[in-house]
Amino acid sequence: MTVPPSPAAGRRRVVVWTHTGRPAASQAASRFIAAVAARGIECLVRPEARDDLAARTGGAALRDLTTPLPPGVEVVVVFGGDGSILRAAEWALDADIPLLGVNLGHVGFLAELEVAQADELVDRVVERDYALERRLTVAVEVFAPGAQTPIWRSFAINEVSVEKDSRQMMIEVLASVDQLPVSRWACDGVLVATPTGSTAYAFSAGGPVLWPDLEAFLLVPLSAHALFNRAMVLAPESVVWLDLFSHVPAVLSCDGARAVALEPGSRIEVRRGCHDLTMARLAVQPFTSRLVKKFALPVEGWRGGGREQR
């Protein structure tokens, strides 16, 4: 982790990103905006959320989130679940601004705080009392059969998924790592996931949990009809090729949001993204504690009511 640099002279600003369809998110965001505005910090909000937040904050200093950004933007504070945090992360990644999530969802692995800790959040943002943590991302390119130039490209913070687009049939995928074939699967699909995404789709598919600061990513077959159908942990410099051999319609999706249809014979290339995502960490809840809490993992022994076992 690194400590954020001292703020430059001039107006301080933060971006406030909310789940516009959830009143609880708007309420929490408006309280935060009013508190930091009273301490001289201007808040930038998405235009579609501005009227609602302005009405709730009684005239606090609000500014539309536009491009290019004004100077002095320090952090993006997100009020919502992991879906909202992922959508904000798409924007924050390109702008290279730290992201700090406040959980109003269910699991909330990407969030740093729960909404009940809002008072602490205000003080931490005002004092810039947080550390910066870099998270690996992946870049993906799609090549038409025989083509040398990609026809589609994107990025992912959680995972890239290649999946069948028909319930009746499986797709056939040859997975290669660094140009060497690893396995050819008849399957429902294949995931390439980051450590951040290891507790999302990849976890549901039976992949291992990776600590988010680990530099690696996962290759996970989905319901593969094969003897070897295990998830693999790859080096961060590895390049993955996924070649489609079947004539079954398939679709590629990045973080469940950006998608493209795949024709038979397509090649998907996945590698480490050139930009890491920066997360603002308050160090109040290590990932180990978050993992135990979110999955309700048993940490007390069945003998002795939790006494230390030898």
Could you list the active site residues? 82
Query: Which residue in the block uniquely carries the two structure tokens 């870099």?
Result: 134
Q: Give me the residues paired with residue 103 across strands.
A: 80, 114
Joined together, the tokens standing for residue 3 give 């400590």
Opening angle at CA 151, ends 148 and 152, nearest 5: 130
If you ran DSSP here, which 8-state letter would residue 218 be given? E
Joined together, the tokens standing for residue 214 give 């680990």
Q: Give me the residues paired with residue 164 across strands.
A: 250
Distance CA 22, CA 20 (A): 6
Q: Give me the residues paired with residue 177 across strands.
A: 180, 240
Q: Do 95 and 104 meet the contact criterion of CB atoms below 8 Å apart?
A: no
Query: Which residue in the block uniquely carries the two structure tokens 């808040």?
Result: 43
Q: Which residues contact 252 (CB under 8 A, 6 or more apart)?
A: 140, 142, 152, 160, 161, 162, 259, 260, 262, 268
Q: Do 139 and 273 meet the contact criterion of CB atoms below 8 Å apart?
A: yes
Q: Environment class of residue 249 by beta-carbon count within 10 Å: exposed (0-12), middle (13-18) or buried (19+)?
A: middle
The radius of gyration of the chain from alpha carbons, rounded to an integer in Å, stands at: 22
Joined together, the tokens standing for residue 144 give 């038409």
